[in-house]
Amino acid sequence: MEGTILIVGLIIFAFIISIPCGYIRQNYTKYSFMWFLLIHLPIPFIVLLRIKTGLSWHYIPLTLGGSVAGQIIGGVVSRRRKLNAKTP
């Protein structure tokens, strides 16, 4: 049970830490240096936390999925805010 809580917590952490990066990433040209940096910036923190908690590397797809979902949600929020700011 404790392992499940750690896994879910790590996935939620990956999701939450990636939202601001996805939000900011929308301001940069696709495939630019900053675009790549903002995609990969949360990864060291997720790996460090996984090592500290002692979780297996078998959970990489789950944390990667949480990180990708956070990037997507952050990008959607950024695009919607820009769209709402332009409409009168």
pLDDT value of residue 56: 86
User: How many structural domains is the chain composed of?
Assistant: 1
Alpha helices in the chain (DSSP H): 2-25, 33-40, 43-53, 60-86
What does the block give as tokens for 84?
């709402």
Q: Which of these, 43, 77, 84, 74, lies nearest to 60 by C-alpha position?
A: 43
Structural domain boundaries enclosing 29: 2-86
pLDDT band at residue 5 under the 50/70/90 scheme: very high
What is the mean pLDDT of the segment spanning 13-21? 97
pLDDT value of residue 48: 94
What's the chain's average pLDDT?
93
Could you give the CA distance from residue 35 to residue 84 in angstroms, rounded to a whole number?
A: 23
pLDDT band at residue 62 under the 50/70/90 scheme: very high
